[in-house]
Structures are given as structure tokens and as C-alpha cells.
């Protein structure tokens, strides 16, 4: 036992919370001699999750599913009395339940509830009151689970949001730096796929944290809205950066101010102070102005070539075709970076929140 790895604190708290709530519900149903009290305990085990927001979502899904499924089961039990017809209905319910279970847990509850009740009806036909008991026990168990998740060592997501958002921004900056560093190289850097995967994983975690925090009590709506806007902006930045990887050629190195742009773009995203970020964004504007002048010069030379009757392939034509889309993407990336200037405010109670 001493050599076994210690469980994380959140896992230990959730295990203790689940054991406590399920044990209390079991003892209450046994003491009150409630019919099918095990359904209440089962409801606790099925909906209680480490995060309060996820528990709340599961409670809603199970209650709605049991009410809908239990109501349908009561009608079927009262109307259908032929065993052959019941078996056919059971086959349909099993097929639909297992097919739709990966889509949403609520579908499984909707089809699983009449499945359980109709199986019992095969041996005890006409006992439709079990559907009402099932709904009542579900309400008891889910209410206890929601109360336990709220009061017993709750695990809140909004204090973690600032850290997860900052991690997503750092991972996105690393991906951007990797791709920008590949411009002008003969081949794409081998770590581009790895850094992109890390950025997408960090963004997915931050999005999940933000969604859960929105469903928690006592959160700061403004801070959550700021974080959500920043995360969507980072999503767009990852998409633009991925588009930039299709233009990795050695000839991209001829674009002026590209090295300066690379350094300032990454620094603008990972900067910790608004003043530093603003200086890097201003430098990006200067770099893009220089690139725009370079592109204008290429177009001027191309117009002269066309006026002279040179309609074939030339250096200026190739440069416009190859460098124009790159400069457009760099301008779009700089515009998105400008939208990240205002960082999300830390939620009250988080380790990164400023002191009052």
C-alpha cells in the first residue's frame, strides 16, 4: 500500500463525496422501506461527477430522460400486453439506446428507462406504477447528488480558468513561433505537428473549463466573457497559422522584415504586460508596412513587364504569386493578435487573481 501512487486530491475528494452521498441515500431508502430504493442510489452513482457543472448537466439529462422514458413506458405497459409485441419493442429500444448513447447520455436514459421497466413487465404484466416509482427515485437520487456536489468539497472550474487560458495562449504562441520559423526553410520543421497538437489540446481544455465555469454559481460573468473571447481568438489564430504552413518554401525568405515579424508576433502573444504587447503590435504594423511596400514594388514591376509585352513567367510574377498570399496571412495574423491585447481577468478566488 505504501508503494502505491497517491491519488490526486480532486480524485480523493470525489471518491469521498460519491461514497458519502450514495451511502446516505441508500440508508434513507432502506430506513423508509421505499420501493425500488436502489434506483435512487443508482441515480447518484450515474450523475455525480468531479465537476459541479458536469454533475448539473448529467442531472438534467437523467431527470428529463427518466420523465420522458418513464411516461412512455407507463403508456406501453398499460396498452401492450402481448409478450411478442413487448419483445419487439424491447429490441427497438435496445437498438436505439446503444446506437444513440455515444451521441448524448440523455438518449440512453430515454430509451434505457422503458427498457428496464418493460423487462420487468414481461414477468409482472400491468404494473405501470413502477414507472412513477422510477421517476420519483430518480428525482430523489439526482437531488441528493446535486446537493452533495454543491456542498461537499466542491471542485470549481472558474478559479482554474485564468491558468488554463494562459496555458492555451502559451501553446498557441509556441505553434505560431514554430510555423513562422519555418518560413524560408526548404522543409517544414518536424515539430510543427507536435506544437499544433499541443495548442489544440490546451485550447480544448480551456474551452471545457470556460463552459463549466459558466454553469457554476458565484462566477464573474465579465471575466468569463473575456476568457471566452480570447479563446475564440486563439482558435482563429491556430487556423490562420495552419494555413500559413501551406506556403513554406525557401523563396519566402526574400520577404523583407520577416525575421522581425517572427520575433514580434510571438512576443505580442506571450507578453505579460499590456505595454509590452502594444509595443510589439506597433512593431508588427511597421513590418507589415515594409512588406506592403515590397508587394507594391512587385506589382509596379509587373505592370511594366506587361506594358512591354512580357506576358510569360518572370521573377516578379512568381514573387507576387508566392509571396502575396503569405503577406495576406501575416496581416490577418497581426490583426488577430491585436484582438488578444486585453487578457482575461482572473476569476475571484483563483491563484492568479489580483489582490483586492
The residue written with cell numbers 506597433 in the block is 282
Residues 176 and 274 in one domain: yes
Q: What CA–CA distance (Å, rounded) separates 258 from 197?
A: 25
Predicted local confidence at residue 1, as pLDDT:
38
Domain range for 26 is 12-151
Does 353 map to a domain?
no
Measured in whole angstroms, how far is the alpha carbon of residue 176 from the centre of its chain? 21
Residues 317 and 218 in one domain: yes
* Section 228-244 average pLDDT: 93
Q: Is the pLDDT of residue 346 over 50?
A: no
Residues 64 and 112 in one domain: yes
For the chain, what is the mean pLDDT?
A: 84
Domain count, the chain: 2
* Section 164-187 average pLDDT: 86
Residues 209 and 316 in one domain: yes
Is pLDDT larger for residue 153 or for residue 238?
238
pLDDT tens per residue, range 74-112: 888 888 777 788 788 888 888 888 888 888 888 888 888
The answer to whether 284 touches 330, Cβ cutoff 8 Å, is no
Task: Report percent pLDDT > 70 for the chain.
Answer: 88
> What pLDDT band is residue 168 in, cutting at 50, 70 and 90?
very high
Predicted local confidence at residue 270, as pLDDT:
79
The answer to whether 227 touches 342, Cβ cutoff 8 Å, is no
Residues 135 and 201 in one domain: no
* Section 155-183 average pLDDT: 89
Predicted local confidence at residue 123, as pLDDT:
61
- What's the pTM? 0.74
Residues 141 and 165 in one domain: no
Residues 196 and 313 in one domain: yes
The answer to whether 312 touches 199, Cβ cutoff 8 Å, is no
Predicted local confidence at residue 354, as pLDDT:
37
Q: What CA–CA distance (Å, rounded) separates 10 from 81?
A: 49
Amino acid at each position: 500500500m505504501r508503494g502505491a501512487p497517491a491519488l490526486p486530491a480532486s480524485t480523493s475528494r470525489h471518491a469521498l463525496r460519491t461514497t458519502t452521498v450514495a451511502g446516505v441515500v441508500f440508508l434513507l431508502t432502506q430506513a423508509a422501506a421505499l420501493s425500488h430504493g436502489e434506483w435512487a442510489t443508482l441515480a447518484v452513482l450515474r450523475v455525480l461527477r468531479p465537476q459541479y457543472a458536469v454533475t448539473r448537466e448529467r442531472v438534467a439529462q437523467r431527470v428529463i430522460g427518466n420523465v420522458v422514458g418513464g411516461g412512455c413506458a407507463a403508456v406501453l405497459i398499460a396498452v401492450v400486453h402481448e409478450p411478442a409485441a413487448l419483445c419487439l419493442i424491447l429490441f427497438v429500444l435496445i437498438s436505439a439506446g446503444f446506437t444513440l448513447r455515444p451521441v448524448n447520455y440523455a438518449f440512453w436514459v430515454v430509451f434505457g428507462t422503458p427498457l428496464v421497466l418493460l423487462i420487468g413487465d414481461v414477468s409482472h404484466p400491468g404494473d405501470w406504477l413502477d414507472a412513477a416509482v422510477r421517476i420519483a427515485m430518480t428525482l430523489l437520487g439526482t437531488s441528493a447528488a446535486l446537493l452533495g456536489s454543491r456542498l461537499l468539497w466542491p471542485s470549481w472550474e472558474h478559479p482554474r480558468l485564468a491558468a488554463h487560458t494562459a496555458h492555451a495562449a502559451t501553446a498557441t504562441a509556441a505553434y505560431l513561433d514554430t510555423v513562422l520559423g519555418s518560413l524560408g526553410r526548404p522543409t517544414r520543421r518536424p515539430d510543427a505537428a507536435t506544437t499544433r497538437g499541443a495548442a489544440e489540446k490546451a485550447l480544448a481544455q480551456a474551452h471545457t473549463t470556460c463552459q463549466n465555469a459558466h454553469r457554476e454559481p458565484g462566477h464573474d460573468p465579465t471575466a468569463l466573457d473575456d476568457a471566452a473571447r480570447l479563446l475564440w481568438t486563439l482558435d482563429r489564430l491556430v487556423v490562420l497559422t495552419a494555413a500559413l504552413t501551406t506556403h513554406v518554401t525557401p523563396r519566402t525568405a526574400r520577404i523583407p522584415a520577416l525575421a522581425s515579424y517572427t520575433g514580434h508576433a510571438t512576443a505580442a502573444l506571450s507578453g505579460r504586460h499590456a505595454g509590452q504587447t502594444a509595443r510589439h503590435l506597433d512593431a508588427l504594423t511597421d513590418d507589415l508596412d515594409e512588406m506592403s511596400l515590397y508587394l507594391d514594388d512587385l506589382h509596379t514591376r509587373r505592370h511594366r513587364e506587361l506594358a512591354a509585352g512580357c506576358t510569360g513567367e518572370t521573377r516578379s510574377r512568381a514573387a507576387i504569386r508566392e509571396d502575396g498570399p503569405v503577406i495576406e496571412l501575416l496581416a490577418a495574423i497581426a490583426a488577430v493578435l491585436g484582438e488578444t491585447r486585453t487578457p482575461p481577468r482572473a476569476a475571484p478566488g483563483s491563484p492568479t487573481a489580483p489582490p483586492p
